[in-house]
Copies of this chain bind each other. A is one copy, B any other.
Amino acid sequence: MEIGRVVGTVVSTVKSSGLNSFKLLVVTPLSVAEELTAANGPSSYVAIDLVGVGEGEVVLVTKGSAARVSDATVPTDAAIVAVVDSVQIGTQNAYSKT
């Protein structure tokens, strides 16, 4: 899973019916080192929200067909599956939700 930050929302009226009951959130990938920082290379993407998150929160995102785990008919390739409370790298606290 990838660590990312929820930075926005997408509104869509015309969409595949399998997406109807989900919030569509924009997620920016974060690099994990001594602290979490914005990743350089990859671009933001859109994920469905399976756990109920708020903007700015640090989350775990599952990509690919595993993102459809709640229902195999949901046409998504990215799902927010967890809110991150903290990340520990070695003896360092890289991130704590405050």
Residues of chain A having any CB pair with chain B under 8 Å: 1-3, 7-16, 18-19, 24, 26, 29, 31-33, 39, 41, 43-47, 50-53, 55, 60, 62-70, 72-79, 81-90, 94
Contact = CB atoms under 8 A, between A and B. Distances in A.
A94 B8 contact: yes
A84 B9 CA distance: 11
B60 A66 contact: no
A81 B11 CA distance: 13
Contacts of A76: 1, 62, 66, 81
Nearest to A30: B43
Contacts of A44: 31-33
B90 A18 contact: no
A83 to B, nearest CB: 4
Contacts of A11: 84-88
